A = this chain, B = another copy of it.
Amino acid sequence: MRKTTFEAPSALSLIFNIIRSEGLINRTALVRKTGLSKSTVSLQINKLIEKGLIREVQPEGAENNVRKLQIELVPDAGYVVGVFLGIYKLSITLFNIKMEAIREMYYDLESAIDPAVINPLIIEKIEEILKMEKVATADLWGIGLGFPFPVDFQQGIPETPPNLPLWHQYPLKQIYEEHFSCPVLIDNDVNVMALGEGYSGIAQDEKDFLFVKVGNGIGAGLFLDGRIYRGDKGSAGDIGHIAIDGESRLCHCGNQGCLETIAAAPAIARKGLEVAMTGESPLLSEIYRKNNRVTAQDVGDSAQRGDMYALQIIRESGRNIGSVLAKLVNFMNPRMVIIGGGVAGAGNIFLASIRESILSRSTHLATIDLQVRFAELKEKCGPYGAGRLIIEEIFSSARFSQTINDYL
């Protein structure tokens, strides 16, 4: 017989999280929403007010009416930090516990190759930001980090990063926890970006969606029934190595014809270089003469300026991605597919090819209400998602009482 685990959220965490979700709410509505007795709700509210986590406010125009008192979070009771690392970019955002961004910083990196260089840098930047905003380290309640490689989510350590071998099993979670003495969660970039769009971006109303990042690699974040689904070993969403049948190009993973090898940025750049060198594409030829190289962005830009061969390369990439997504849409029946990552910059032709390819090969029921859209948050997506990763954890019913005991 299957054993079920039961999680009983305390009245305290339940009430706090309803206030957090509603923004502003009065006692009567809290009693109704929780199903708890008036006296229990009052008791818990008083406890949270005493702790300094929530406060009562008088709406304008109702100054002397106690029954109109509303409850809200005390935003600066505590803070969290969201960190997002790319190969050449680092973004860090400081949030208060209401998830209002207090300070957003974006840095260029020479490269993220060496963890022994990058992690001290991240720590230094976090400390700088805390100082700028006069936030004491003791008021930092948690840090969420998104990294550009597979991460063992439970352990918080990188798992065979394909292009950054020095990071393999680097004790990331431990380093940040020991330095800042606060809870730390680490996840891969796509899961974090899915959280960003799911909480602050285009998918705020969606229960089930798929976030697909198309950049140097291709990966997906699965947001199912309102939360990130990670699978047995945390590798759910690893769609870059799904085979395009009939394609034989060798992938760095050792298999042939992987989607990533056929359709991600390096493949687009490679095909762009070909038509630049043959002279078929005058625009790309000119770029090649000037820069001595062709990037995926060059191909995307040329496509947007109407270059036929560049258009064909972008369309082909979109079609291949769409042919894989069609299978996954049949399988999981999401309500939205969000396309993000650098190649998304190739614009509407790219999105249209993906959409067309999905629609032509998915079932009626799976596509009847399906939306295929570009991500919305741009550079905010990563750090906002990383902040969300940690704030949902520290305020979860399982962890809430520890959080307030530790910090208040």
A residues with CB within 8 A of B: 1-4, 6, 8-11, 14, 17-18, 21-23, 33-36, 99, 150, 159-160, 198-200, 204-205, 207-208, 220, 222, 224-226, 229-239, 241-246, 253, 255, 323-324, 326-328, 330-335, 361, 363-366, 368-370
Partner of A253, one of B1, B243, B323, B363: B363
Chain B residues whose CB sits within 8 angstroms of the CB of A224 once the complex forms: 224, 229
Q: List the number of copies, as a whole number.
A: 2
Residue of B nearest to A244 (CB): B245
Q: List 11 A-B pairs, Cβ < 8 Å.
A: A222-B331, A233-B366, A233-B368, A233-B369, A236-B332, A245-B246, A246-B246, A253-B363, A327-B327, A327-B328, A331-B331
Partner of A21, one of B4, B199, B222: B4
Residue of B nearest to A242 (CB): B327
Task: Check A4 against B17 for contact (C-beta < 8 Å).
Answer: yes
CB distance from A186 to the nearest CB of B (A): 16
Cβ–Cβ contact B6 & A33, under 8 A: yes
Majority secondary structure, A binding face: loop
Q: Which residue among A220, A242, A244 has the maximum number of chain B CB atoms within 10 Å of its CB?
A: A242
- Whose C-beta in chain B lies nearest to the C-beta of A237? B331
Q: A241-B363, A366-B235 are in contact. Are A1 and B23 (CB under 8 A)?
A: yes
Task: Report A269 CB to chain B, min CB distance, Å.
Answer: 24
- Pick the residue among B236, B326, B365 that contacts A150 (CB under 8 A): B365
Q: How far is the CA of A255 from the CA of B366 in the complex (A)?
A: 14
Decide: B231 and A208 in contact? CB cutoff 8 A.
yes
Beta-carbon contact of A333 and B369 below 8 Å: no
Contacts of A159 in B (CB 8 A): 365
Contact A333 B236, beta carbon cutoff 8 Å: yes
A255 touches B361 (CB 8 A): yes
Q: Which interface residue of A14, A220, A225, A368 has the most chain B CB atoms within 10 A?
A: A225
